């Protein structure tokens, strides 16, 4: 998923997703979009849906 898609799905600003992803690896699509890996999406879900404090770089 792209950062923009995640922001829409979790109903948060794009900036919040980018801040949570600091230090994480993303892939770049052929269109130049940042793609987030599935394992990071699961951690983002914990943070934005369940309100759990997560550490993306552990």
pTM across the whole model: 0.81
For 34, phi then psi, to 5°, come to -80, 125
Band the pLDDT of 3: cuts 50, 70, 90. very high
pLDDT per residue over 19-46, tens digit each?
999 888 899 999 999 999 998 999 899 9
CB distance 2 to 36 below 8 Å: yes
CB distance 30 to 48 below 8 Å: no
Band the pLDDT of 9: cuts 50, 70, 90. very high
């Amino acid at each position: 998923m792209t950062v923009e898609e995640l922001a829409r799905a979790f109903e948060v600003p794009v900036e919040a997703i980018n801040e949570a992803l600091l230090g994480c690896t993303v892939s770049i699509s052929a269109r130049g979009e940042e793609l987030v890996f599935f394992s990071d999406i699961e951690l983002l879900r914990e943070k934005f849906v369940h309100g759990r404090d997560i550490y993306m770089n552990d």
